Structure 1
Amino acid sequence: MGVLRKWMPTSAAQVRYIFTYWTTPAPESPWIINKKNVAESQTQQNLNPQIESAINNITSSEFMAYYFYEQMAWYFNRDSVALPGFHAYFQSRADDLMKLARKFMEYQNKRGGRIILGDIPAYPKQDGWTPLEAMDKSIFVEHGIKQHLLKQNELAESLKDSQFSGFLSNFLNEQVIDLKEMTDHVTQLKRVGPGIGEYLYDKDSIMKESYFDKINRDNY
């Protein structure tokens, strides 16, 4: 618990925001309450209802994280902030989360499940981020995603759904890599300090990484 304390949000509202979509089951759609109105899937492959719900919850959490990173990216793009490296970094992360959400929706359809998504509110803090604070909150979000994936992996193993467990393992490995990268950025941002140090880090470190090329490759 002590290790995670520095990544905790700064308000109760932020705590509620981050954990809501990792602890609350996806709402049932009003269009499928009456099962007679839903055509039976021809591809359903031994999909336990708990796994179907887990896939929807993960998808919603990925969209929630996407929304968080998208908001962060465009904050650093403001003319009053003007840190293009951090803009590109968080935009790249947002794009990755959108792709992950789509992969889970594709997987849901392949297993013959039904995609049901929940509402996604805006993150409570809209502006005023420092690069260090943004990275700290990103680490907290990524830890939340990782713990949620681990929880759903335990569910898959308890239900002997090796296909879903194997599918999740790829994303868990990616989480380890992402967290290491973010913690490295936090360490270096603390080293250079605020103000001119953050500007130089944005210019000399973040912008030299492949985020710009990745965004251009993904979007054009």
Structure 2
Amino acid sequence: MLSKALQKALNDQIQKEFYSSYLYLSMAAYAESMNLPGFAHWLKLQQQEEHGHAMKFYKYVNERGGRVELQAIEQPQAEFPSPTAMFEEVLKHEQFITASINKLYEKALKENDYATQVMLQWFIEEQVEEEASASEILETLKMAGEKGQALLMLDRQLARRGMN
């Protein structure tokens, strides 16, 4: 059984994961408006992944006899100065989610909730991958610039996500 404090923290994380999903869908819409279908494809897959993360937390709370309480999701940013600025936001957001999951893990440690610690281990490992992926795209954008063939090539590379 989950403590009330841990249940609340997990519900807060569900809201953050659904917001992540909503944010990436908003970013995909921006990319499509900028005629960057590869970026949009990558972001839509990321949106689906974040929705899946929210549902993992949802399932876990229910499995532990807790009560899922969905919270409001604020409107995400819809405009970005550039693809580079957008991926700076992606990285910043993933770092925020990493910090949030780390705080959840600390709370589970303090409460000696071993099952929650084990479940959160998957998310801790996942966040390493999430941050590395965002960082790699951001660094490539910084090297390539925002115009011309390099941006087009990166767009095409991002369009291949999920095809490997």
The CA deviation string for residues 168-201 of structure 1, in whole angstroms up to 9 with x for no partner, is 0101101001111111111111111111132232
TM-score (norm 1): 0.71
Give the greater-gyration-radius structure (CA). 1
Corresponding position of 2:18 = 63
Corresponding position of 2:145 = 193
Deviation of 1:210 (Å): 2.5
Report the secondary structure of 2:66's partner residue. Answer: coil
User: Going by fraction, where is helix more abundant, 1 or 2?
Assistant: 2
User: Structure 1 stretch 139-148 or stretch 46-55: which is displaced more?
Assistant: 46-55
Q: Higher relative CO (CA 8 A, sep ≥ 6), structure 1 or 2?
A: 2
Contact 2:80 2:86 in 1 (8 A): no
Q: Give the AA of the match of 1:210.
A: R
Contact 1:63 1:98 in 2 (8 A): yes
Structure 1: gaps (5+ residues): 1-45, 215-220
Report the secondary structure of 2:52's partner residue. Answer: helix
Corresponding position of 1:144 = 96
Work out the CA distance in 1 between the residues paired with 2:103 and 2:79.
32
Contact 1:131 1:198 in 2 (8 A): no
Q: Give the AA of the match of 1:103.
A: K
Structure 2: gaps (5+ residues): none
Q: Give the AA of the match of 1:161.
A: D
Question: What does 1:1-220 correspond to in 2, within 5 Å?
Answer: 46-78=1-33, 81-123=34-76, 125-196=77-148, 197-203=150-156, 205-207=157-159, 209-211=160-162, 213=163
Figure out how many residues of one structure are paired with residues of the other and give that number.
Answer: 163
The CA deviation string for residues 145-182 of structure 1, in whole angstroms up to 9 with x for no partner, is 00000001000000000100110010110100111111
- What is the RMSD computed on CA atoms of the aligned residues? 1.4
TM-score (norm 2): 0.94
